Amino acid sequence: MSTYLTKRLLYMLIILFAASLLIFCLYALTPGDFITGNIKLTAERKAELREIYGLNKPVLERYGLWMKNAFHGDFGTSLAQQKPVLQLFGDYIWNSFLLAAVSTFLTWVIAVIVGVVSAYKQYSWFDTLVMVAIFAAMSLPSFFIGLFLIKILAVDLKWLPPGGMITTGSNATGLAYLNEVVRHMTLPVVVMVLLGLGSLTRYFRSNMIDVLQQDYIRTARAKGLKERKVLFTHALRNALLPAITLVGFELPALFGGSLIIEQIFNWPGIGQLYMKSFGLRDYPLLMGFTMFIAILTVIGTLFSDILYRVADPRVRL
């Protein structure tokens, strides 16, 4: 295991180095930047700022400087926000984590329950209804579902706030503050759950159908075990095993999957900040966020491999 971890850590460093070079070159070679797009600046001022921020230097020289600073924990300063990138991450990322963690938890719980019941009652009216709902949810874009729910639940019925994290001007504290946050995050969480539920439910349903047809399930039923024990002790445990590989990929998806949702619901998270920075060509912040997702991806992959080994001792690493 220690040899495997050493090799994987080495591969992770190589992958992150290659990813950082590719991402930096991609952003640097994209036409336009934060200074060029600012029509309020004179040509002399633009040239002066490009000299200050080093944007007139060769790409590889800029990458070498960025990498040197990154090793010292400095991922640059946001050109639009005029704050260090890591400080902005600290200000916004926990809001995104709250939204993504709640929606991911609900998505997995609902997908497992619905997928198992749907597989157990295959071709029943419940299974048919679930499949129709899944395809409907998967075929609708996130912005349509978000705007539809805002129109119905926030504008027409006024049950929930249309956006933001707290009410404008609110000085609520304690439980009152918690209640405001829960009310404001309900709509974005519902949209994220609906978007993630389709593919995950289909995955659990198909795994469960395969497991229910195995010989050891027939043997368990022939031994007279109760159907509930056969379903949840023998079948579900083996059906969930392949899903462990998905757990690692949920780590980067926590922050990468909520970009559009945060924008629609004006949720003050890192996703909304990224979308604004993308329009302004704020490359230091874009570079920092993309590298953050890349780091989470390689860590998530390693985590899922180790978890799979723990769940199934037959797997050798």
Residues 153-177 have pLDDT tens digits of: 999 998 999 888 888 887 888 888 8
Alpha helices, DSSP H only, in the chain?
Answer: 2-29, 43-52, 59-71, 85-120, 125-139, 142-149, 174-212, 215-222, 227-229, 236-240, 244-256, 259-264, 270-280, 283-311
pTM over 0.85: no
Give tens-digit pLDDT for 28-69: 888 777 787 777 778 888 888 888 888 888 888 999 999 998
Structure tokens at 131: 């499949």
pLDDT for the residue 313? 66
Q: Is the pLDDT of residue 90 over 80?
A: yes
For the residues 253-279, what does the mean pLDDT come to? Answer: 82
Q: Strand, helix or coil at 39?
A: coil
User: Are 260 and 142 spatial neighbours (Cβ–Cβ below 8 Å)?
Assistant: yes
Under the banding of pLDDT at 50, 70 and 90, the label for residue 184 is: very high
The rounded distance, in Å, linking the Cα atoms of 124 and 130 is 10
Average pLDDT over residues 87-109: 89
How does 87-102 read in b/e, with b if 16+ C-beta sit within 10 Å? ebbeebbebbebbbeb
The DSSP code for 77 is B
- Which residues have a Cβ under 8 Å from the Cβ of 155 and sit 6 or more positions away? 162
Residue with token string 């023998």: 234
